Amino acid sequence: MFNKKTRIKDLLANESLNYEVIVMGWVRTFRNNQFIALNDGSTNNNLQVVAELGKFDESVLKRITTGAALKVSGEIIPSLGKGQKIELKAHLIEILGDSDPEKYPLQPKKHSLEFLREKAHLRFRTNTFAAIFRVRHTLSFAVHKFFNDKGFIYLHTPIITASDAEGAGELFRVTSFDLINPAKNENGSINYKEDFFGKATNLTVSGQLEGELAAMALADVYTFGPTFRAENSNTARHLAEFWMIEPEMAFYDLEDNMNLAEEFIKYIIKYALENNKDDLEFLSQRLADEEKEKPQNERSEMGLIEKLEFVINNNFERLTYTEAVQILKESNHNKKKKFQYLIEDWGVDLQSEHERYLVEKHFKKPVILTDYPKNIKAFYMRQNDDGKTVAAMDILAPGIGEIVGGSQREERLNKLTERMNEMHISTEELDWYLDTRRFGTVPHAGFGLGFERLVQFVTGMSNIRDVIPFPRTPKSAEF
């Protein structure tokens, strides 16, 4: 029976001695034909397995190579070696899966992240990626725990949809048509009435609009699922497929929304610190080693764990977009033209470099910006009385810029339809959405958090492709 094995993480946490166990895992190293470093993925810490000299057949020892899978039965005894309290004295070693040392690409040496992206199907076997994906799991669990404990209802919104919630138009089309010869109208345009769904459909960019429908009856809901953007962007911050957390709350205004988002971020970071201490310490050291190779002026002032604790223990700085633009406009960075995109006029869309300046140089803490110009924001955001801005809020984090985007939603039917007409968004196609404003409308709000950017922030990884198991980017859809 395989289910009688003990996890290495549990063995290392247990101080008991002189008892029989079965462990299974993969060989990291094999020294002196005697000492096996075995890892089963439950922790980055290996269990030392001692194969007593002369006890095992030479044909078995030859097959104990890096990457090979073993089943080992034996006795837990005190270890005389450095760095471990216990070791496993092997009585029986069974090779479950061989690994040819001439062909296995992950030999025990340091590999670059670029190399590991090329071997993404094997990178889970390295300490860095094992730690990242254990932390990702913990953060995912914490998301559900936070909302569940607050009485929110988890809603599965559609992956295939006919709406473009953001109005950005960067969509992956979904069709059952023969792409070479699709059904066409008399004027030559594509006849979507003949398509599978009877209309043009795409992969979702957001579950927000559907979330609002449920919030208008269930009050507090959240979605946590995959979203898709056909944005031809090869950067360290963008993916074509990523996961979004999107709560929608009835009877919330912008301040309620900000309070919830800040509480949420602090909660899940704290949960990871409490439950993945070893992994975060490992990733913190990895980041510190990486920082040493940067010029002094580009190095972070805080270590990873110090940064995470700082976020938990400090209130986020809150200011308006107008105040932020003034700070940026008057900054030495702007005056000395160190920004790639100079800040000259009110109304510009802030870039990542501006967001990071506010967070990392000016306030040196996470920042919540509010009340953006309506012309750079989506149609569903509540219009402020000044006629120029909307009740939007973005949370900016060190290292990556925007991590949360949200707003109070426009609950007034006349204001919403006016704005949709201004932006040439069909009120007829979104008539179902407008029904929420016709029947029992209430003030409500919500936000979206890109899960991978959160994982980036917590793990200290600089490239978003390294925090999702199988990244989808332009010209790349492996596995």
Q: Which two tokens stand for residue 280?
A: 């975060």
More confident residue, 217 or 198: 217
* Mean predicted lDDT score pLDDT of the chain: 92
The answer to whether residue 163 scores a pLDDT higher than 90 is: no
The answer to whether residue 128 scores a pLDDT higher than 90 is: yes
The answer to whether residue 322 scores a pLDDT higher than 60 is: yes
Coil, strand or helix at 408: strand
Domain spans in the chain, listed from the N-terminal domain onward: 2-109, 125-170+205-466
Q: CA 131 to CA 158: how far, in whole Å?
A: 31
* Res. 119 pLDDT band, cuts 50 70 90: confident
The answer to whether residue 438 scores a pLDDT higher than 70 is: yes
**Is residue 302 within 8 Å of 310, Cβ to Cβ?**
yes
The answer to whether residue 399 scores a pLDDT higher than 90 is: no
**Is residue 125 within 8 Å of 206, Cβ to Cβ?**
no
Helix residue ranges, H only, 72-178: 113-118, 127-149
- Enter the DSSP assignment of 357: I
Q: CA 114 to CA 332: how far, in whole Å?
A: 35
pLDDT average, residue stretch 250-277:
98
Cα dist from 228 to 156, 300, 402, 451, 478, whole Å: 15, 32, 18, 13, 16
First to last CA, the chain: 31
The pLDDT value given to residue 473: 85
Q: Which two tokens stand for residue 193?
A: 């009435």
57-114 pLDDT tens trace: 999 999 999 999 999 999 999 998 777 899 999 999 999 999 999 999 998 888 888 8
The pLDDT value given to residue 99: 96
- Enter the DSSP assignment of 155: -
CATH number for the domain formed by residue range(s) 2-109: 2.40.50.140
Q: Which two tokens stand for residue 43?
A: 């922790």
The answer to whether residue 294 scores a pLDDT higher than 90 is: no
Residues in CB range of 120: below 8 A, 6 or more apart: 469, 470, 471, 478, 479
The answer to whether residue 166 scores a pLDDT higher than 70 is: no
Helix axes of 127-149 and 451-459: crossing angle, nearest 10 degrees: 120
pLDDT average, residue stretch 314-320:
95
The pLDDT value given to residue 257: 98
The answer to whether residue 398 scores a pLDDT higher than 90 is: no
Q: CA 449 to CA 294: how far, in whole Å?
A: 29
Chain-centre distance of CA 168, in angstroms? 22
The answer to whether residue 16 scores a pLDDT higher than 60 is: yes
Share above pLDDT 90 across residues of the chain, in percent, rounded to a whole number: 76
The pLDDT value given to residue 88: 96
The pLDDT value given to residue 400: 78
Q: How many CB atoms lie within 10 A of CB 242?
A: 19
* Res. 118 pLDDT band, cuts 50 70 90: confident
Element of type H or E holding 137: helix 127-149
The answer to whether residue 397 scores a pLDDT higher than 70 is: yes
The pLDDT value given to residue 232: 82
Residue that is written with structure tokens 């310490």 in the block: 281
The pLDDT value given to residue 223: 97
Least trusted range by pLDDT, from 153-167, 323-337, 348-362: 153-167
The answer to whether residue 141 scores a pLDDT higher than 70 is: yes
The answer to whether residue 299 scores a pLDDT higher than 70 is: yes
Secondary structure tally for the chain: helices H, strands E: 14, 16
The pLDDT value given to residue 136: 98
The pLDDT value given to residue 301: 76
The pLDDT value given to residue 168: 57
The pLDDT value given to residue 170: 84
207-226 pLDDT tens trace: 999 999 999 999 999 999 99
Q: Which two tokens stand for residue 460?
A: 């200290």
- The model's pTM: 0.92
CATH number for the domain formed by residue range(s) 125-170+205-466: 3.30.930.10
The answer to whether residue 427 scores a pLDDT higher than 80 is: yes
Q: CA 319 to CA 303: how far, in whole Å?
A: 26
Q: CA 20 to CA 90: how far, in whole Å?
A: 10
Side by side, which strands form the sheet with 241-250?
153-154, 220-228, 241-250, 444-450, 401-409, 389-397, 367-373, 317-320
The pLDDT value given to residue 451: 96
Q: What is the dihedral of CA 463, 357, 382, 152, to 10 degrees?
A: 50
* Res. 2 pLDDT band, cuts 50 70 90: low
- Enter the DSSP assignment of 348: P
Question: 335 φ, ψ to 5°?
Answer: -65, -35
* Res. 165 pLDDT band, cuts 50 70 90: low
